[in-house]
Amino acid sequence: MDSSPATPAAEPLVIMGAGLVGTLLALYLTRRGHPVHLYERLPDPRKAGLREARSINLALSDRGWRGLAGVGITDDIRKVGIPMYRRVMHDQRGQLTYQPYGQEGQAIFSVSRDSLNRTLLNLAEAKPNVEITFGQKLTQLDLPGRRLHLRDVASAREYDVPYQRLFGVDGAWSAVRGALQRLDRADYSQQYLEYGYKELTIAAGPGGAWQLEKNALHIWPRGNYLMIALPNLDGSFNATLFFPYEGPLSFESLRTPEEVERFFGDVFPDVVPLMPELDTEFFDHPTGSLVTIRCWPWSYQDSVLLLGDAAHAIVPFYGQGMNAGFEDCTVLDRLLDELGEDNWGQVLDQFERLRKPNTDAMAELALYNFVEMRDHVADPRFLLQKRIESKIAAQFPGQWLPLYSRVTFSPDTPYAEAWAAGQHQEAIMQRLMPHIQEETDYEKPEVQALVEQELASK
């Protein structure tokens, strides 16, 4: 008879929030042997039959793919994604310019938030020790007593759930973070842009054909505002107008279908024929706000931890919000390997101290990229500078990597390090570009000497 002691059961864990990051986190934690229970305030999106109001297509890049690879689900996600190899800029006359995202073959992937969430929910629920309960609103969090007070939205029944470990992954308006904010010396800030966004649709062509280049992110930069479009699997594009709330040209100023049609016809003439539902969508679809949220701390003792937008919501202009949240999961998993699950307090402390500087840097990068996409990508000098940067990177591959590549295609580079390197390289380019008026100027001996001098002084 075997008298060896039984292996103790893995500790049950509770996740508040069953969105993209919450479901991926559940897959990581259950992979470690833990029973996991997720509680989600919203209804099950697979049963609601409606698309989310906030359905901006997401750009999945290498950090996000690493997060998915950690639980072996990249093949499942590739089925709902479309690779985008470059930006295509549309000027006001409909003329196009192009900017590759990285080296040949490198791409970011357009994924529908709704399709990705459904896929992750299915994968999580397929695990025998994962349970997801929808329609549960967190009304109170007893931090010292380790107890959630929940309300079932449909029945209004209220009840308590005890926990030993709680992960707050409940989005930018996190109820878990709200409880942490009431602690002594808790910091919190929210910064809104004066811009909102509205979702619009570029229709599929006959037989589901894409009416714009499929494998690209399309941008209509117009100085004070912009529109972008990402491809969908059905041949349509999910377009998003980023536009001032108030002003001479703003959501406030466009009040009738005639005004909307006139504005789009003047400003986005090449795409208006591809948007047959423009009038209806412009007035029926909600105007979303754009907010950056920073807070501290992200944890409480050894029992509560914030991840994803609950800890670091950012504006969408670098396409890194979801990727940063997925990276949270990989960092937490690595720390659990390194420090062990007997040291939850140390794991949570190390996690927030590692991630906070990097997500703060990513917030700055997202704001910086809004200005770039809105104002600069149509500027011939800006595009020339990007081509010169590509030449430097090709000539000095160990010494120069463009900022976008550091953020998007270099998952081993922390965001803060990428941002610092990018600022340094931008200073170099500001000194170099006055000597370059066209691409061939890069080959001039005096320019080559300047480049080598700058790199030698790094």
Question: How would DSSP label each residue in 281-320?
Answer: HHHHSPPEEEEEEEEE--EETTTEEE-THHHH---GGGS-
The single residue listed with the structure tokens 């025998």 is: 128
Strand partners, 151: 137, 158
Residue 378 pLDDT level (bands cut at 50, 70, 90): confident
Residue 48 pLDDT level (bands cut at 50, 70, 90): low
Per domain, the residue ranges of the chain are 13-81+112-189+294-371, 191-289, 379-456
Lowest mean pLDDT among 45-54, 73-82, 176-185, 214-223: 45-54
> Contact at 8 Å (CB) between 181 and 197?
no
Residue 372 pLDDT level (bands cut at 50, 70, 90): confident
Classified by CATH at the fold level, domain 13-81+112-189+294-371 comes out as FAD/NAD(P)-binding domain (3.50.50)
Residue 104 pLDDT level (bands cut at 50, 70, 90): confident
What is the rounded CA–CA span in Å between residue 263 and residue 269?
9
The answer to pTM > 0.75 is yes
- Chain center to CA of 414: 16
The predicted structure's pLDDT at residue 410: 94
According to DSSP, residue 203 is labeled P
pLDDT of 125 over the 80 cut = yes
Going through 154-284 in order, the beta strands assigned E by DSSP cover 158-162, 166-168, 187-202, 216-221, 226-231, 237-244
What is the rounded CA–CA span in Å between residue 359 and residue 416?
8
pLDDT of 3 over the 90 cut = no
